[in-house]
Amino acid sequence: MSRPNILLIVADDLGFSDIGAFGGEIDTPRLDALAKAGLRFTDFHTASACSPTRSMLLTGTDHHIAGIGSMAEALPDEVKDKPGYEGHLNQRVVTLPELLRDAGYATLMSGKWHLGRTPTSLPGARGFERSFALIPGAANHYGFEPALAPEQRPGLLRSTAGLYTENDRFIDALPADFYSTDSFTDILLGYFQELEDVGDERPFFAYLPYSAPHWPLQAPDEVIAKYRGRYDAGPAALREERLAALKRLGLIGEEVEAHPVTTKTPPWEELSEERRAFLSRAMEVYAAMVDRMDWNIGRVLDHLEARGKLDDTIVLFLSDNGAEGTLLEAWPTFGPNLEAVIAEYYDNSLENIGRGNSYVWYGPRWAQAATAPARLQKGFTTEGGIRVVSFLHYPAIARKAEVAHDFATVMDIAPTLLDFAGVAHPGGEYRGRAIEAPRGRSWRNWLEGRSEQIHADDTITGWELFGRKAVRKGQWKAVFIPAPSGPETWQLYDLARDPGEVHDLAASQPDKLAELLAGWAQYVRENGVIDFPRLKPVFGDE
């Protein structure tokens, strides 16, 4: 069999049930068709935030090994300058595009990078022949920047100032008609055309990591208009609607108990009419961002189909973490004076929300409508932060048009794609430097029907970010969430019976908790985790 092409698509902060094939009401026909014809995962896990996930995705290792033990924007003093906490992709790992490039693949990227801006951590230095990259973790989707000197900007606007590279050369200005989702797609399609123009028939690895639907919430007016009034009933109503759809689609069991919404923000019925209108509009814009992403993905699929390449292409789609519910205005790390600066330099009037000179986010209640039945959202090691939407489409495999409830992680993707490409990981050395082997496991035997499960029941998988921790072994999971969002003690859950993490079994099953905590200690040792009992929270507590 010839080597497959690979299209790896990452959405930024997309909720588990946002797209139609996963229970959502947003208009996503292209993703829905692809997902339903492929294999939908219900128990696929990432890290709890974006750059750690991306390091795991491209290396198959834990993010504490790859250099993103904590996000570069929020490295606690306790971990600065420690191995694995460099804040960028380090030299202890080799990347998927490096190995595919060496094996004769054309390696292309267009979208969000968020893995460092040092010379050795930019896309071209890590295997991409052609790349257009947003380097920080977020940016204005229209390229709008306020007329403020860097030192006058709140921390949020400093960390998300637009910084782009093309083939690792920093660019000075974006086109006047720039919109991130459209432009990232345009550029990837241009790279495809370049290969065709010179008769380059190598298989391709195309990485398309969108920065949508990450805040600031912005989308074309005509797409936002499709959703006018759709969310006027509020997030609680949407949550119930999504839960019913997830059950109807067989993505969760009928008996599943959803975790209660966890937030200090007032419920919908206690808000003023003006505040409800504002939050409804924010959700309308969010939906439009997802809608526009689907349309653009359709453009890529149409291009491949027109050239007879789609059936020979592995398409993998995932979100990088759970839905984003942080109240950015409540966090000193995003200031000072964030709200005052936005009020002066942006226009967040109701009719303008969603345009380039607006700056809004949608908050924890909308986010937890999208993570239900799971607990909490992005930034947390509860299921709401790490269990994400994902599917694989590849007609050559035995398993398709299915829903898979098997446990899998983002670290499995690099080994899986290398396996299908016929490329062996080099093990402990690459180009004269020592490297770490992948922690993930290839899905190929499982996908082709030669194996009953991906991970053995005794496999230990751990998570840690911002002092929030979790460890899983089979159907059991232990979670540690510091105050104020958690009890600041280890909790125990049987995910087979309680995927919402509602019923803590730590007191009734002390031996099982001890077993899981032994697994946690193993994870810490093997991955170089600096296990502080309590790190100052960076964001996400509500």
Catalytic (active-site) positions: 50, 114
Q: Which residue has the tokens 């790490």?
A: 386
From the list 463, 465, 464, the residue with the least C-alpha distance to 538 is 465
Q: At what angle do helices 273-306 and 180-197 cross, to 10 degrees?
A: 10
Q: Which residues contact 159 (CB under 8 A, 6 or more apart)?
A: 73, 136, 137, 138
Give the integer Cα–Cα distance in Å for 457 and 67.
28
**What is the CA angle 142-290-277, rounded to 5?**
80
8 Å CB contact between 406 and 74:
no
**DSSP letter at 387?**
B
Q: At what angle do helices 273-306 and 364-371 cross, to 10 degrees?
A: 50
- The alpha helices in 307-455, defined as continuous H runs, are 338-345, 364-371, 383-386, 413-421, 444-447
Q: How many of the other CB atoms lie within 10 Å of CB of 131? A: 24
For residue 284, give Cα distances in angstroms to 176, 180, 352, 393. 25, 18, 12, 29
**What is the CA angle 182-57-516, rounded to 5?**
135
Bridge partner residues of 5 (DSSP): 313
Q: Is 296 in a helix, a strand, or coil?
A: helix
Q: Which residues contact 164 (CB under 8 A, 6 or more apart)?
A: 132, 133, 134, 135, 170, 171, 174
Give the integer Cα–Cα distance in Å for 161 and 243.
37
Give the integer Cα–Cα distance in Å for 378 and 320.
9
